[in-house]
């Protein structure tokens, strides 16, 4: 009976497959087969032994039912796999797991799971990046209200917003790529990492197993791969999750009824916003992204605590990682897939964008007027104070700032009515916003192409 939401609600089939229990068993056997192949290449096991194990993988002869039966006897998960595999390996069963300790197998399996999870995360990040630059190009000339502290600030463009988010996404892809050699690390070095059980062939055996499994080998490890790599992965996942939280939160804010510049997709033919209020169009997808970010961020702390193990290792990290790592991957995957759906179906309302700009009665153009006065020779500090007083007067009286400025003798000493009017136009004060969008777009397209 499903209990946890990741069993039935969160995470895609692709990510779920990586962490599926049957897939885990297949990978466990693959590592044992890789070890046998490496042993055969140094003359410590017959070549046929590895061939036999690979045939068992193809036939699916060893099942979770077999492993569970042995675990009830041994109370040891890895030994249960070894015994279930050995009993179906005929005369080659005695060569299975020779020289290895449990974490040689489980850490190498985990390295493959993290590798495949990162590959999937990266593919989703790339899709988000491309979608964001498409939006940034489409709306690079849509002037909108910039807000700081939640309060109207200066004009910007909607395309600039999307480009800024896209640049953050591309940094996450770069971080993941750079971190793979530290995260996707297996091992084959025995009980305390000295490789004593492999004699003089330890380096060759470990290198060969990692080559076969397609993961990195450690510079050095004790009984386990050091957990700083897993902490880095969980922390990177939390950072990525927080960016998705940031974008979703902005969409939620701009979807507020009184703002309504953006809106996440809503199926008008069938979607229900509220069980009692038929009119509701709630930002539930973005809210889900924001909510899951809280869980993903919390997992980073657990991963950091797992770095601290006693002596050559203890088992305190194991139970934690069984919960933490699948959850981090599945919940982040859910966030990523949801964000892709939101961005691809995002609605932008230019009329509302313009309405919100004009609602400020020119106050957002105060800096533009100050800069214009300075360009005509006025003192910057004096100009700031003059415009501040005019702005406060306009705010208090509910007037347009341009009307107050035109009546100000101090302002008129430097600016004509026409120059004031020009300074009041938001589209004249977006600086290099368009060029920056084009710069980000070109950078991302070039980066992702390579």
Active-site positions read 149, 274
Q: How many CB atoms lie within 10 A of CB 226?
A: 18
- Asked if 229 and 303 touch (Cβ cutoff 8 Å), the reply is no
Dist CA 112 CA 418 (whole Å) = 67
- For the residues of 409-432, what is the DSSP string, one character each? HHHHTT--HHHHHHHT-GGGS-TT
- For the residues of 129-171, what is the DSSP string, one character each? HHHHHHHHHHTTT-EEEEEETTEEEEEEEHHHHHHHHHHHHHH
Q: How many CB atoms lie within 10 A of CB 260?
A: 17
- Asked if 205 and 188 touch (Cβ cutoff 8 Å), the reply is yes
- Asked if 363 and 391 touch (Cβ cutoff 8 Å), the reply is yes
Dist CA 333 CA 327 (whole Å) = 10
- Asked if 71 and 80 touch (Cβ cutoff 8 Å), the reply is yes
85-115: string of b/e by CB count within 10 Å (b at 16+)? bbebbeebbebbbebbbbbbbbbbbbbbbbb
**Conformational region of residue 142, where left means phi above 0, alpha means psi within -120 to 50, and beta covers everything else:** beta
Three-state secondary-structure class, residue 153: strand
Dist CA 423 CA 29 (whole Å) = 71
Dist CA 228 CA 352 (whole Å) = 48
What is the Cβ-side half-sphere exposure of residue 250, based on CA atoms within 13 angstroms?
A: 20
Dist CA 384 CA 51 (whole Å) = 80
- Asked if 225 and 107 touch (Cβ cutoff 8 Å), the reply is yes
């Amino acid at each position: 009976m499903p209990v946890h939401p990741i069993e039935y609600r969160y995470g895609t089939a692709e990510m779920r497959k990586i962490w599926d229990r049957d897939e885990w068993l297949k990978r466990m056997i693959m590592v044992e087969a890789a070890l046998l192949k490496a042993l055969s290449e140094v003359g410590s096991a017959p070549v046929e032994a590895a061939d036999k194990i690979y045939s068992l993988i193809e036939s699916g002869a060893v099942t979770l039912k077999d492993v569970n039966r042995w675990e009830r006897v041994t109370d040891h998960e890895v030994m249960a796999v070894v015994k279930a595999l050995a009993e179906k390996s005929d005369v080659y069963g005695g060569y299975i797991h020779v020289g290895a300790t449990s974490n040689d197998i489980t850490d190498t399996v985990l390295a493959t799971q993290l590798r495949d999870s990162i590959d999937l995360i990266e593919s989703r990040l790339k899709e988000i990046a491309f979608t964001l630059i498409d939006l940034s190009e489409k709306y690079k000339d849509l002037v909108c209200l910039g807000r700081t502290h939640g309060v109207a600030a200066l004009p910007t463009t909607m395309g600039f917003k999307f480009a800024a988010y896209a640049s953050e996404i591309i940094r996450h892809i770069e971080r993941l790529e750079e971190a793979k050699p530290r995260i996707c690390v297996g091992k084959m070095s025995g009980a305390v990492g000295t490789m004593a059980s492999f004699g003089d062939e330890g380096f060759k055996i470990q290198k060969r197993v990692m080559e076969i499994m397609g993961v990195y080998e450690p510079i050095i490890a004790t009984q386990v791969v050091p957990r700083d790599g897993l902490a880095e992965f969980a922390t990177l996942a939390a950072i990525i999750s927080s960016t998705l939280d940031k974008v979703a939160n902005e969409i939620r804010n701009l979807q507020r009824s009184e703002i309504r510049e953006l809106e996440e997709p809503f199926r008008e033919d069938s979607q229900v916003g509220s069980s009692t209020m038929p009119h509701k169009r709630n930002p539930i997808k973005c809210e889900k992204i924001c909510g899951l970010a809280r869980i993903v961020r919390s997992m980073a702390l657990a991963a950091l605590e797992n770095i601290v193990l006693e002596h050559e290792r203890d088992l305190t990290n194991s139970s934690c990682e069984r919960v933490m790592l699948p959850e981090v991957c599945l919940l982040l995957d859910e966030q990523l897939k949801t964000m892709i759906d939101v961005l691809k179906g995002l609605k932008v309302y230019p009329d509302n964008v313009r309405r919100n700009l004009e609602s400020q009665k020119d106050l957002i153009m105060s800096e533009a007027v100050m800069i214009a006065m300075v360009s005509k020779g006025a003192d910057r500090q004096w100009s700031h104070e003059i415009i501040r007083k005019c702005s406060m007067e306009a705010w208090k009286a509910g007037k347009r700032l341009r009307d107050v400025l035109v009546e100000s003798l101090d302002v008129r000493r430097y600016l004509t009515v026409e120059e004031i009017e020009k300074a009041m136009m938001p589209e004249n004060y977006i600086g290099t916003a368009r060029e920056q969008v084009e710069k980000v777009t070109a950078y991302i397209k070039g980066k992702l192409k390579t």
